[in-house]
Amino acid sequence: MSAVVQNPGVRALTREELEAHWMPFTANRNFKAKPRMLSHAKGMHYWTPEGRQILDGVAGLWCVNAGHGRKEISEGVARSLEQMDFAPPFQMGHPQAFELANKIVKIAPKGMDHVFFVNSGSEAVETALKIALQYQRLRGEGSRTRLIGRERGYHGVNFGGMTVGGMVANRKIWSPTLVPGVDHLPHTHDLAKNAFSRGQPEHGENLANELERLVGLHDASNIAAVIVEPIAGSTGVLVPPKGYLKKLRELCTKHGILLIFDEVITGFGRVGSAFGAQEFDVTPDIITMAKGLTNGSVPMGAVLVKKEIFDTFMTGPEGAIEMFHGYTYSCHPTACAAGLAALDIYEREGLFQRAKDLAPYFEQAVHSLKGLPGVIDIRNYGLVAAIEYEPFAGKPGARGFDTFTRAFAAGILVRAAGDITALSPPLIIEKSHIDELVDKLGQVIRETKVP
Ligand SMILES: Cc1ncc(COP(=O)(O)O)c(C=O)c1O
CB-defined site of ligand 1, < 6 Å: 120-122, 125, 154-156, 229, 233-234, 262, 264-265, 290
Q: Tell me: pLDDT of 10 over 80.
A: no
Q: Does CATH place domain 72-348 in 3.40.120.10? A: no
Report, in this order, helix, strand and coil percent for the chain, each rounded to 5: 40, 15, 45
Q: Is 305 strand, coil or helix? A: strand
**pLDDT score, position 12:** 80
Span 134-144, average pLDDT: 98
Whole-number Å distance between alpha carbons of 157 and 165: 9
Q: Pick the atom of ligand 1 nearest to 288's CA.
A: 3
What are the start and end residues of each CATH 3.40.640.10 domain in the chain? 72-348
Of all residues in the chain, what percent carry a pLDDT higher than 90? 97
Whole-number Å distance between alpha carbons of 121 and 114: 17
* 26, 234, 235, 295, best to mutate for ligand 1 pocket (most atoms within 8 Å of CB): 234
Q: Tell me: pLDDT of 2 over 80.
A: no
Mean model confidence pLDDT for the chain: 97
Contact present, 233 and 150 (Cβ < 8 Å):
no
* 25, 26, 117, 154, best to mutate for ligand 1 pocket (most atoms within 8 Å of CB): 154
Distance 120 CA to ligand 1 centre (A): 7
Q: Tell me: pLDDT of 8 over 90.
A: no
Q: Pick the atom of ligand 1 nearest to 125's CA.
A: 4
What are the start and end residues of each CATH 3.90.1150.10 domain in the chain? 16-66+350-446
Model confidence, pTM? 0.97
Give the pLDDT confidence of 307-348 residue by residue, as tens digits: 999 999 999 999 999 999 999 999 999 999 999 999 999 999
Contact present, 182 and 159 (Cβ < 8 Å):
no
Distance 364 CA to ligand 1 centre (A): 28
**pLDDT score, position 6:** 47
Q: Give the residue whose CA is nearest to atom 3 of ligand 1.
A: 155
H or E element in which residue 124 lies: helix 121-138
Give the pLDDT confidence of 345-402 residue by residue, as tens digits: 999 999 999 999 999 999 999 999 999 999 999 999 999 999 999 999 999 999 999 9
Distance 156 CA to ligand 1 centre (A): 5
Least confident range of 1-10, 22-31, 120-129, 168-177: 1-10
Distance 122 CA to ligand 1 centre (A): 6
Distance 374 CA to ligand 1 centre (A): 29
Distance 234 CA to ligand 1 centre (A): 8
Q: Tell me: pLDDT of 289 over 70.
A: yes
Chain-centre distance of CA 179, in angstroms?
22
Q: Pick the atom of ligand 1 nearest to 233's CA.
A: 16
Q: How confident is the model at residue 246 (pLDDT cuts 50, 70, 90)?
A: very high
Distance 263 CA to ligand 1 centre (A): 9
Q: Tell me: pLDDT of 46 over 60.
A: yes
Q: How confident is the model at residue 7 (pLDDT cuts 50, 70, 90)?
A: low
Q: Pick the atom of ligand 1 nearest to 301's CA.
A: 10
Distance 262 CA to ligand 1 centre (A): 8
Distance 154 CA to ligand 1 centre (A): 7
Tell me the CB-side half-sphere exposure of residue 254, using CA atoms within 13 A: 11
* 265, 384, 415, best to mutate for ligand 1 pocket (most atoms within 8 Å of CB): 265
Identify the CATH class of 16-66+350-446.
alpha beta
Of all residues in the chain, what percent carry a pLDDT higher than 70? 98
Give the pLDDT confidence of 405-434 residue by residue, as tens digits: 999 999 999 999 999 999 999 999 999 999
Q: Between β-strands 375-381 and 301-306, what pairing exists: parallel, antiparallel or unpaired?
A: unpaired
**pLDDT score, position 11:** 75
